Chain A
């Protein structure tokens, strides 16, 4: 069951939680949800994320991508983690998603410390923030109490914005999440880190508008470089070629120099609704982008959550398997 983002403030119980936070809250999600039932929750997550990213630094960006693909389908319900025939995870669009083993490891550890208490959706939410902080990005307070979906359908994945949508389609999708144009531009800024699969941009490099050349909106030197990097669809390329490992606003500066890797990235400077925001983030202090990123992420991870009040969902024992499904 999908749930829209409620208005800020909420009502009813847990008033003390609302007053402590500057971020909009679902009334049934709580900043101190695990304080009594699993006090070490965030510590376990942070430790595991740090441990895994030490040996594979690309897992940080992968976790951010994973949370986006989860929240962007039916809401932040860990549906992307379910692994059986016909699930989101098995969809072609999810082929390049990574980070599942890390989430499973955290869940396994969590089941030892607090069996049956911590949902995979909350783990994914916490892990994506830990990854961001690890990458030098901002911290934001998370509220918890999400439940896991019992189902996952590959057909729903079409909704997640791919690297080839135009701005209008992106805005429409974001609107359906309860996010706005500012959130679209800000969350696209996650491409300050991470890599793109060459398969998503090859048509832009080699077959743009049925020609044999590259998209003319790409800087010529950069296009030449990308063409030589992207010989194979399975190759990857940095989304921010200038500072690929730093969480900064270089991404926006790149866009203004026609160095957006994905066409959805470059489109942001063409569209009059988004171009002024790109310009602002490119020209203002990186701190402005970081602060706004925290705000937008806090909104994203509250999209379409399942909570106890819904009387749906479950706390999975294993993130890749629903408790109620026979295997």
Chain B
């Protein structure tokens, strides 16, 4: 047992490698999308309506004769933007708030944690719905809404990590030296807080993509004619019997992306979380 653990400690987890390769490939396709699409993703073609997949149209065509393959390719960046954008937003707010809540011993920390308690008591999709219900839907608003949903969760995690580090000797030493709070947070706490934050972030991205595409599916995200995958699936519903490929193509791509991001997160966790080492 101990020998196996020692070997695994140095090896990069397979999940990380495979997840990284697939996410990287999808990201590359998303970036290259505009140049490599075989057809204009938004161009109508009445003659080619509802064509099944073939050599000419790899994933078939939709009810307007638009090439589904081109649309899926052109839509890849939406899901990536939602997942990574929303998570970045939750980090941008969650890290400072969490660190302040960990360091401060007064009313500020109390106020932050009470606000977090309230926001965490709202089911995630509801908070998104609430924000999107009262304004005109747009993709950036979905990203902001999903990001805000995860700010309280991120704040809690960063605070917990920070509290743990504050008890460490090197932080106590810095305090004894009379370093300022900002210095201790930036130099002593933050660099050591990264591993758990990275792990949480990677796992969060999956949820952000899921929530964002679900909101788009419900009509509260990207708006037509955008080829966001959740929206494409929603638009395919009336043709589900006649032309199932319109919804299946973006749906399968979304699943592959989610599995890959999930693998990436699990792999990072295996690599960085010492508690998991040696456990199957």
The answer to whether A and B interact is: no
